[in-house]
Amino acid sequence: MKNIEIKARCKNLNIIRKILKEEKAKDISKSEQIDTYFNSINARLKLREINGKEFILIQYNRANKKSSKFSDYKIYKTESPEDLKECLKRSLGIKVIVEKIRELYEIDSTRIHLDEVNNLGTFLELETVVKNELDTKKYKQENKRIKNLLGIKNSNLIESSYSDLLLKRRRKVN
């Protein structure tokens, strides 16, 4: 599965909420998420716990760049997260844990995440799902349209994942 995504710092999520309401974006959910990232050589690998009830292993490849980028990912839902987490911890080791509150909205093929990330602040993510790789241009245009609609400035874009930002912050402290 593929999507086109951007991530940006967002000081005022209420402004974004207001725009989403005006645009009649589909309000999907609000959840507490814990992402446990594991040391992985070939890709990023995390176990996501959603409200302590849903558990998803996510493997993805994505370039670190500020502009729109492709993300190639695989998702595996598990009913026995404790065993899976222990296996991954023993074989790969835990890299970092990211805790956040996420609001999820949707416009067309784009998922909009409003994130309050512990020890990092507030962010906005756009993930435009590429349903047909022959129409990549169409999905890039949609991602750009929603970016502009929400007033996301290029100066607020970030290239790194939350895990990278936390690791960078940890290195500065030590």
Would you state the pLDDT for residue 98?
A: 98
| Tokens linked to 165 | 């930002």
User: Which structural domain range is residue 22 located in?
Assistant: 2-173
Domains in the chain, number = 1
Residue corresponding to tokens 């993510």: 125
Would you state the pLDDT for residue 100?
A: 98
Contacts 24+ apart (CB under 8 A), 160-165: 160/7, 160/64, 161/7, 161/44, 161/62, 161/64, 162/35, 162/98, 162/100, 162/115, 162/117, 162/120, 162/123, 163/35, 163/37, 163/44, 163/46, 163/95, 163/96, 163/98, 164/64, 165/120
> Which residues of the chain register pLDDT less than 50?
none
Predicted structure pTM score? 0.92
CATH number at residue 50: 2.40.320.10
Would you state the pLDDT for residue 174?
A: 62
